[in-house]
Structure formats: structure tokens, C-alpha cells
């Protein structure tokens, strides 16, 4: 969610003055690392929770769907988010940034962020609502 807010501000800066947009790139590169550490903590705590419950949830549909969504979130981050972020950085720091390429990358990053948000909300739904149905 934080990346959505930063992403919006970043593109405003790109439109106004591309040289100022580069100031947000270190933050945009750091947040995914924090998110990956959070994902690692989530995996460890999930395994600990399953273990503490004698793996009683293993085999339930909601857990499998949650795990698939979790893997999809992480995979999408590595497969789409990271490379796209690198291309955006290369354009912003280029002596002659290509606005057409930046516009294309903006669309790709916005789609990526929305897909990530939808998967995150679906994951939260699986854990909080569907599990108790």
C-alpha cells in the first residue's frame, strides 16, 4: 500500500520535474526489501502457528489458496516489480529520458501495484473471512 502512495507521488514528480523524481528512487528500492523481510517473518510465523496447532489446518482449502496467493505475490514482485523498477530508474537517471518508455513503464508499474493489492486483499479475505465460513 505504501508503494502505491509513493508511486503516485513519484509519477507526479516525473511529470513536473524528472530530476526531482530521482530523490524518491532510494525509498522505492528500500521498501521492497522491507516487504521481503516481512514476507520471511510471515512464513516463519505461519510455520510456527501450524506447528503449534499440530498442523490441523494443513489440508484445508483456505490454507492452500492462501499459500498460492502468497507465492504469487512474491513471484510477481521478483518477476515484474523489480525489473520494471530498474528500468524506471535507468530512464529517470538517463541524461535523455524517453517519455514514451516512461509512460509505458508507468502503466506496467500501476498494473503491477493493482494486481499486488488485489492479491493481498484476497489473501486477507482468505485468512479472516473465508476461513471461518
Burial class, 5, CB count within 10 angstroms (exposed 0-12 / middle 13-18 / buried 19+): exposed
The answer to whether 127 and 69 are in contact (CB under 8 A) is: no
pLDDT digits (tens, 9 = 90+) for 61-87: 888 888 898 899 889 988 998 899 889
* Extended beta strands in 1-133, E state: none
| Tens place of pLDDT per residue across the chain (133 aa) | 677 788 888 888 888 888 888 888 888 888 888 888 888 898 899 899 889 988 988 888 888 888 898 899 889 988 998 899 889 989 988 899 999 999 999 999 999 989 998 998 988 887 787 666 6
pTM of the model: 0.79
Cell (9 digits) for 93: 537517471
Distances from the Cα of 19 to the Cαs of 52, 80, 129, in angstroms?
52, 25, 45
SS3 content of the chain, % helix, strand, coil (to 5): 85, 0, 15
Which set of grid coordinates corresponds to residue 98?
Answer: 524517453
Amino acid at each position: 500500500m505504501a508503494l502505491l502512495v509513493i508511486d503516485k507521488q513519484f509519477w507526479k514528480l516525473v511529470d513536473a520535474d524528472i530530476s526531482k523524481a530521482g530523490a524518491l528512487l532510494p525509498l522505492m528500492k528500500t521498501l521492497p526489501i522491507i516487504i521481503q523481510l516481512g514476507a520471511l517473518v510471515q512464513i516463519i510465523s505461519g510455520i510456527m502457528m501450524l506447528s503449534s496447532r499440530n498442523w490441523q489446518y494443513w489440508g484445508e482449502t483456505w490454507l492452500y489458496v492462501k499459500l498460492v496467493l502468497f507465492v504469487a505475490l512474491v513471484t510477481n514482485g521478483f518477476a515484474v516489480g523489480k525489473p520494471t523498477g530498474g528500468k524506471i530508474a535507468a530512464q529517470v537517471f538517463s541524461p535523455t529520458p524517453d517519455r514514451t518508455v516512461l509512460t509505458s513503464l508507468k502503466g506496467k508499474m500501476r498494473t503491477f501495484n493493482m494486481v499486488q493489492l488485489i492479491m493481498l486483499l484476497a489473501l486477507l479475505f482468505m485468512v479472516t473471512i473465508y476461513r471461518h465460513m
